[in-house]
């Protein structure tokens, strides 16, 4: 074989080896890239899965998700729960809440049970009720919520002839324990006491001479409920530095029934507070009454009207009453 032929063969062999090595290198690069892509996909999938799990299962569960779903047909408990920042799942007679309770306003999320005394059984069956909070007046309806649904009774009522602050603060603490948020209740009690005291200061600046109050609600033009010392008006006015006046001992509901003529027995320095609602027909009849005209409320005697407050309520009613009184417009007598 000639030298040129040998050289050519050597070149061919070198080229073949180089080509073979290039192919191997390309295969290795392809495998490496494929492995990288697969790892990246797995990492991306893992990250996506983690994101999805985070979205569907938050690391810290919100209070709403971790809380008991409480139903209360009783407005006193329902209002206090709302004011505490823990609104109930449902309460009753929502359509007239503003007319008789006023404040606090019910959130739109609260379901209407229908009549408080006899809730709608078909509606209740569809609610995810964890706990019922009521009082003796509503205990007959507990079976409506299901045999396995626990129930607790919480009553805001005077334990003696004279209502005091603890008659309202202790049931509020009881509510806090029931919903597993005792500190929430304690904070609300402290804030309520401060708010009532502030309302008292505001009222004193406006009407420094008005110190004694009789609180009534008209049944009709001649018959009234006068609220006594075992009603919520006693601790509310007491916390504001004022005195509640009543001419008789109250019944179990905290009032005594009187007639319009009985108002003449009140001292002239006593300011008369009328709790609304008061129908237009009743108001017209009162204004036409000769007895009312002779009593002369709004002129020689102090007179004022307050927005609705739930008379048989809890801590929320005390706060509402105090704020209503701080903003009331009084006329006549010691208010002049």
> How many domains are there within the chain?
3
Are 208 and 323 in a shared domain? Answer: yes
pTM score over 0.85: no
Rounded distance between C-alpha atoms, residue 325 and residue 196, angstroms: 10
Q: Which domain holds residue 256?
A: 196-335
Q: Is 181 among the domain residues?
A: no
Q: How confident is the model at residue 234 (pLDDT cuts 50, 70, 90)?
A: very high
- Judge whether residue 214 has pLDDT over 80: yes
Per mean pLDDT, which range of 12-21, 182-191, 228-237, 302-311 is the poorest? 12-21
pLDDT at 60 over 90: no
Residues 328 and 279 occupy one common structural domain: yes
- So what's the pLDDT on residue 125? 94
Q: Are 268 and 296 in contact (CB under 8 A)?
A: no
Coil, helix or strand at residue 56: helix
Q: What is the pLDDT of residues 29-45, one digit of tens each?
A: 433 433 334 434 344 34
User: Do residues 279 and 302 both lie within one domain?
Assistant: yes
Residue 202 and residue 82 share a domain: no
Q: To the nearest 10°, report the CA torsion of 135, 141, 147, 150.
A: -20
CA 220/CA 283 separation, integer angstroms: 9
pLDDT by residue (tens digit) across 167-194?
999 999 999 999 999 999 999 999 999 9
**Can you tell me the distance from the alpha carbon of 239 to that of 224, in angstroms, rounded to the nearest whole number?**
25
Pair 300, 332: CB distance under 8 Å? yes
Give the domain-ending residue among 94, 129, 155.
155
Residue at 182 is within a domain: no
Examine residue 165 and state whether it is found in any structural domain, yes or no.
no
Are 234 and 319 members of one domain? yes
Encoded tokens for 25: 């290198």
Residue 185 within a domain: no
Question: Does residue 187 lie in a domain region?
Answer: no
Residue 264 has pLDDT above 60, yes or no: yes
Q: Of 90, 123, 155, at which residue does a domain stop?
A: 155
Does residue 211 sit in the same domain as residue 259?
yes
pLDDT tier at 247 (50, 70, 90 boundaries)? confident
Q: What is the CATH number for 226?
A: 3.40.50.1980
Same domain for 271 and 208: yes
Q: Is residue 143 part of a domain?
A: yes
Residue 88, domain member (yes or no): yes
Q: Do 75 and 51 share a domain, yes or no?
A: no
The percentage of residues in the chain with a pLDDT greater than 90, rounded to a whole number, is 79
Question: Smallest Cα–Cα separation from 133: which of 186, 69, 59, 182?
Answer: 69
Do 216 and 122 belong to one domain? no
Residue 49 lies in a domain: yes
Q: Does residue 123 share a domain with residue 33?
A: no
Position 61 scores a pLDDT of 32
Q: Which of the listed residues 122, 155, 188 is the one where a domain comes to its end? A: 155
Adjacency order of strands within the sheet including 90-91? 111-112, 90-91, 70-71, 131-134, 151-153
Do 216 and 280 sit in the same domain of this protein? yes
As a whole number, mean pLDDT of residues 14-28 equals 40
Q: What's the chain's Rg over C-alpha atoms?
A: 37
Q: CB of 309 within 8 A of CB of 274?
A: no
Same domain, yes or no: 110 and 226: no
The pair of structure tokens assigned to 114 is: 């229908």
End-to-end CA distance of the chain: 138
pLDDT at 63: 44
């Amino acid at each position: 074989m000639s030298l040129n032929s040998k050289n050519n063969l050597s070149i061919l062999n070198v080229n073949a080896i180089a080509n073979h090595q290039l192919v191997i290198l390309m295969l290795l690069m392809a495998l490496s890239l494929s492995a990288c892509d697969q790892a990246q996909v797995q990492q991306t999938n893992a990250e996506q899965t983690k994101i999805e799990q985070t979205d569907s299962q938050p690391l810290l569960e919100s209070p709403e998700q971790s809380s008991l779903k409480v139903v209360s047909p009783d407005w006193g408990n329902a209002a206090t729960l709302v004011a505490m920042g823990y609104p109930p799942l449902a309460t009753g007679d929502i359509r007239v809440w503003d007319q008789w309770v006023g404040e606090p306003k019910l959130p739109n999320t609260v379901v209407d049970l229908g009549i408080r005394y006899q809730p709608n059984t078909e509606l209740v069956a569809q609610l995810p009720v964890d706990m019922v909070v009521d009082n003796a007046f509503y205990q007959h309806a507990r079976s409506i919520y299901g045999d396995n649904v626990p129930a607790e009774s919480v009553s805001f009522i005077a334990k003696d002839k004279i209502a005091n602050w603890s008659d309202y603060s202790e049931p509020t603490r009881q509510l806090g324990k029931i919903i597993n948020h005792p500190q929430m209740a304690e904070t609300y009690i402290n804030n309520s006491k401060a708010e009532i005291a502030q309302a008292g200061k505001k009222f004193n600046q406006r009407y420094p001479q008005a110190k004694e109050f009789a609180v009534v609600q008209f049944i009709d033009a001649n018959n009234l409920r006068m609220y006594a010392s075992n009603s919520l008006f006693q601790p509310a006015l007491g916390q504001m530095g004022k005195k509640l006046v009543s001419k008789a001992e109250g019944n179990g509901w905290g009032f005594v029934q009187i007639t319009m003529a009985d108002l003449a027995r009140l001292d002239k320095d006593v300011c008369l507070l009328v709790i609304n609602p008061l129908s237009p027909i009743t108001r017209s009849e009162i204004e036409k009454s000769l007895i009312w005209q002779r009593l002369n409320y709004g002129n020689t005697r102090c007179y004022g009207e307050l927005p609705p407050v739930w008379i048989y309520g809890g801590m929320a009613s005390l706060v509402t009453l105090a704020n209503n009184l701080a903003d009331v417009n009084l006329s006549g007598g010691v208010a002049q």
